[in-house]
Chain A
Amino acid sequence: MDNTEILKQVEAVFRDVLDNEAIVLTPATTAADVDEWDSLTHVELVVAVEHRFSVKLTSSEILSWRNVGDMVACLAAHLA
């Protein structure tokens, strides 16, 4: 799975968890760009992303993400 496909699936997870079909993600998107994305929904998103891709991420991996691009790269490394 390439990064574009991962981004597409992550976007679907965001739309589902945050209940907003208008969300459009790019690698540069941060929590500041998405109204519903805060410290609480962040954890819901992590759990949903882990479930969708069947991966178990470490705390240090999750905490090092600065944007969606970092999240996608981290998932790509797990799926490789």
Chain B
Amino acid sequence: MPLLSLAFVGFFAAVFALYHMVRTNVRAQNIILLTASLVFYALLDWRALPLPVAMTLLFYWLGIAMGRLRAADPRRAARLRSLAVVLGLLPLLYFKYFDFFIAEAASLLGTGHTSLRLIMPVGISFFTFRLLSYAIELGRGTIEPERDPVAFGVYVCFFPTLMAGPIDRPQHLLPQLAAPRRADYAMLSLGLKRFVWGCFLKVCVADPIATYADSIIDDYASYGSWPLLAAALVYPIQLYADFAGYSHMAVGSAQMLGLRVAENFNRPFMAQNVADYWRRWHMSLTSWLTDYVFLPLNIAWRSLGRLGTVLACLVNFVLVGFWHGASWTYGLFGLYHALLFVPLIVRGRMSKRRRIEWRDPWVAPASLLRMGGTYLLVAVGLVIFRSPDLGACLGFAGHVVAPTGADTPLPYIHWSLAAGLAGATLMAVNSWLEERRGGTGKGLLATRGAGDVLLVALLAVLALAIGTSATQVFIYQRF
């Protein structure tokens, strides 16, 4: 049951009605959410359901045990934390990377190998990171163990964010699950508007652009330089509209249930440099890695000064890359971004201090130039990211510079691309307004009363009219 389907709307409406019927009873609300999450997961992939259930139970128990040991025997508590991190990573390493390691090892040794053809359980990269975050925060002593197994189960498996995030933190979500959630008009209306806005981004921006970009990038050898450049330039918009569309739907669904989950985007294409871009793109993942990889390494290597920061950044971004999957192109994508960070670190242009100087920046030509330059750097990185292997990546770049073979003619006007770019223009206006007014939901979605109804109706009609059976699955569901 994909998030973008009438089946999900029906499922959500039933959960929503039951959930708000028991609005004063926290326990009943959490039981409804956990049951809905398990049913949702079973409908997606019932064979893999035992994995999140077992991992949730294991970490619940480990959390209680760590809580007991923390005061009595901190060393054993720290060892238990390390064990939890290893146990949490094992299924992810097995399902996501094992085949890759085997193939690469066999290739290195020049021996044959048999792929296990493992099917990755839905949402494993996301629920694993939630579990690890819980164990690490417990180990740091910044949270207390969750004693309610139902609330803990909801934290790990909350159905709107189960498939592809955002990756929530325990200190953020668990306290919300301890209090009753009442239906509040402001939250309900914003949640609904964000849900339909997400549908709009996916159906009216990402998918129409995909019909252009995918067909060209997948068959790059048949095209000349200009179509390839155009495809590389529109792909960031496609990927953003796809993932931000999903994220709006997930965050909006949670808001309708009275829960504020983490945000994933903060208008990334308004970024003034690559460091600024990464503070605005897939924020729930990047902040996770900053807190649990970059910061510990940077602190441990602080005696090395800026070299320590560069090394921590390198490790961090290679992990960002490989988080997306077992492929050298993902690793190279991470390395590429790490290298873009090096001059920023050396010149001290990475920190928030610079961002403060850039407040209200988008009217100045210099700042528009910085935005454009950052977009181009991001687009180059996404060519690496989008390529199935290094050969295809180099092949694409080679064909841009020196196209060979037949140059397949393209229609003078590509209607699908034009429709997608028209939708993207609306998306850009919304971003511009939000940046101006200082927050998500303060742009085109900042309607009230009858305006709310009109906006939801308009976006829903557009999404239903343009959406076809060709609607593609969300890209980040694969990760």
Question: A interface vs B, CB < 8 Å?
Answer: 18-19, 35-43, 46-47, 59-60, 62-64, 66
The 3 A-B pairs with the shortest beta carbon distances in the complex, nearest first, are: A38-B352, A64-B140, A40-B351
Given contacts A62-B299, A64-B140, contact A19 B309 (CB under 8 A): no
Determine the distance from Cα of A36 to Cα of B294 in the docked complex, in whole angstroms. Answer: 18
Q: Is the CB of A41 within 8 A of B295?
A: no
Can you list 29 A-B pairs, Cβ within 8 angstroms, ordered by A? A19-B353, A35-B353, A35-B356, A36-B352, A36-B356, A38-B351, A38-B352, A39-B290, A39-B291, A39-B298, A40-B298, A40-B309, A40-B345, A40-B350, A40-B351, A42-B295, A43-B295, A43-B308, A43-B309, A46-B299, A59-B296, A59-B299, A59-B300, A60-B140, A62-B299, A63-B295, A63-B299, A64-B140, A64-B141
Residues on the B chain within 8 Å of A59, using CB: 296, 299-300
Q: Is the CB of B353 within 8 A of A36?
A: yes
Residues on the B chain within 8 Å of A42, using CB: 295
Supplied contacts A36-B356, A40-B298, 15 more A-B pairs, CB within 8 Å: A19-B353, A35-B352, A35-B356, A36-B352, A37-B352, A39-B298, A40-B309, A43-B308, A43-B309, A46-B299, A60-B140, A62-B299, A63-B295, A64-B140, A66-B142
CB under 8 Å from chain A, chain B span 284-333? 290-291, 294-296, 298-300, 302, 308-309
Residues on the A chain within 8 Å of B345, using CB: 40
Residues on the A chain within 8 Å of B298, using CB: 39-40, 43
The residue on A at minimum CB distance from B350 is: A40
The residue on A at minimum CB distance from B275 is: A40
The residue on B at minimum CB distance from A31 is: B352
Residues on the B chain within 8 Å of A18, using CB: 353
Residues on the B chain within 8 Å of A19, using CB: 353
**Nearest CB on B from A49, distance (A):** 11
Q: Is the CB of B296 within 8 A of A63?
A: yes
Q: Is the interface of A mostly helix, strand, loop or mixed?
A: helix
Residues on the A chain within 8 Å of B142, using CB: 64, 66
Determine the distance from Cα of A26 to Cα of B140 in the docked complex, in whole angstroms. Answer: 22
**Nearest CB on A from B459, distance (A):** 32
Q: Is the CB of B294 within 8 A of A41?
A: no
User: Beta-carbon contacts of B334-372 to A below 8 Å, as 1s and 0s?
Assistant: 000000000001000011110010000000000000000
**Nearest CB on A from B309, distance (A):** 7
**Nearest CB on A from B346, distance (A):** 12
**Nearest CB on B from A57, distance (A):** 9
Residues on the B chain within 8 Å of A46, using CB: 299, 302
Determine the distance from Cα of A66 to Cα of B290 in the docked complex, in whole angstroms. Answer: 15
Residues on the A chain within 8 Å of B308, using CB: 43
User: Beta-carbon contacts of B135-153 to A below 8 Å, as 1s and 0s?
Assistant: 0000011100000000000
The residue on B at minimum CB distance from A57 is: B299
**Nearest CB on A from B278, distance (A):** 11
Residues on the A chain within 8 Å of B352, using CB: 35-38, 41
Q: Is the CB of A39 within 8 A of B356?
A: no
Q: Is the CB of B302 within 8 A of A47?
A: yes
Determine the distance from Cα of A50 to Cα of B35 in the docked complex, in whole angstroms. Answer: 50
Q: Is the CB of A41 within 8 A of B351?
A: yes
Residues on the B chain within 8 Å of A43, using CB: 295, 298-299, 302, 308-309
B294's partner among A35, A37, A39, A64 (CB-CB below 8 A) is A39
Determine the distance from Cα of A10 to Cα of B141 in the docked complex, in whole angstroms. Answer: 23
Residues on the A chain within 8 Å of B299, using CB: 43, 46, 59, 62-63
**Nearest CB on A from B401, distance (A):** 36
Determine the distance from Cα of A54 to Cα of B308 in the docked complex, in whole angstroms. Answer: 21
The residue on B at minimum CB distance from A19 is: B353
Q: Is the CB of A39 within 8 A of B353?
A: no
Residues on the A chain within 8 Å of B295, using CB: 39, 42-43, 63
**Nearest CB on B from A76, distance (A):** 17
**Nearest CB on B from A14, distance (A):** 13
Determine the distance from Cα of A8 to Cα of B130 in the docked complex, in whole angstroms. Answer: 37
Determine the distance from Cα of A79 to Cα of B192 in the docked complex, in whole angstroms. Answer: 54
B351's partner among A36, A60, A62, A63 (CB-CB below 8 A) is A36
Counting chain A CB atoms within 10 Å of each CB, the highest count among B298, B299, B350 belongs to: B299
Residues on the A chain within 8 Å of B351, using CB: 36, 38, 40-41
